[in-house]
């Protein structure tokens, strides 16, 4: 094959790559906006005021379980993480300005299907945290998921960490440690 025969296919490949790169760069802001809109819609259900916009706050406290903080009218949605049985759990916790938990959702987990994995979808388990203010405790005012005590305690520590930030009890909750 001659060099001249390779020029046309290489040029076509480079042109296609350039078009894809340009399209990617043009569509990135649209994708980022859709992600932000989706996040805001989910978060709006986590606060009683049903806010439509959130602003991200800077967090520089001691609790390593707190990842991100979003402020809105009437409260905060705080992204927290905790070490569960099979890996990290990531939760969004809605907390009103007085420190009362108003919403909890498990966003990501690696827990065992049918056991700890129930934390993401078991409404009765998650509802137990509503109305608490950093005082949730498995075996006291929170019933653990059957067969998933470690996961239940991890969710509890994460929820308490979020409420603790709002109430001013922002200290290491141990939400990233096993046990408790």
State residue 171's pLDDT score.
Answer: 54
Is the per-residue pLDDT at 112 higher than 90?
no
Task: DSSP for 77-124, please give it.
Answer: EEEEEEE-SSSEEEEEEEEETTS-EEEEEEEE--PPTTTGGGGGT-HH
**Tokens coding 105:** 């959702």
pTM of structure: 0.75
Task: Give the whole-angstrom CA distance, residue 50 versus residue 57.
Answer: 19
pLDDT (0 to 100) of residue 170? 57
Q: 3-class secondary structure for 112-153?
A: CCCCHHHHHCCHHHHHCCCCCCCCCCECCCECCCCCCHHHHH
pLDDT of residue 109 exceeding 90: no
pLDDT at 174: 46
Name 113's Cβ contacts closer than 8 Å, sequence gap at least 6.
none
CA distance 48 to 98: 12
Distance CA 151, CA 119 (A): 8
| pLDDT score of 8 | 84
| Gap between the Cα atoms of 111 and 66, Å rounded | 20
- pLDDT tens across 58-89, in order? 888 788 889 999 999 999 999 999 988 888 88
What burial class does residue 107 get, using C-beta atoms within 10 Å of its C-beta: 0-12 exposed, 13-18 middle, 19+ buried? middle
Q: What does the pLDDT look like over 123-156, one tens digit per residue? A: 899 999 999 988 898 989 888 888 888 888 999 9
Give me the chain's average pLDDT, please: 85
Q: If you search the block for the tokens 């498995």, which residue do you land on?
A: 138
| Residue 176 pLDDT grade (very low, low, confident, very high; cuts 50, 70, 90) | very low
């Amino acid at each position: 094959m001659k060099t001249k025969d390779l020029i046309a296919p290489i040029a076509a490949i480079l042109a296609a790559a350039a078009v894809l790169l340009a399209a990617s760069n043009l569509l990135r802001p649209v994708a980022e906006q859709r992600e932000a809109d989706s996040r805001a819609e989910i978060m709006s259900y986590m606060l009683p005021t049903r806010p439509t916009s959130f602003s991200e706050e800077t967090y520089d406290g001691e609790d390593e379980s707190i990842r991100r903080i979003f402020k809105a009218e009437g409260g905060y949605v705080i992204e927290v993480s905790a070490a569960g049985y099979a890996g990290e759990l990531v939760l969004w916790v809605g907390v009103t300005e007085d420190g009362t938990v108003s919403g909890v959702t498990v966003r990501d987990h690696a827990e065992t299907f049918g056991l700890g994995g129930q934390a993401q979808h078991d409404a009765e388990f998650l509802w137990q945290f509503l109305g608490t203010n950093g005082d949730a405790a498995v075996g006291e005012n929170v019933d653990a998921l059957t067969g998933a005590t470690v996961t239940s305690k991890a969710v509890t520590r994460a929820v308490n960490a979020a409420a603790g930030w709002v109430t001013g009890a922002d200290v290491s909750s141990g939400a990233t440690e096993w046990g408790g």
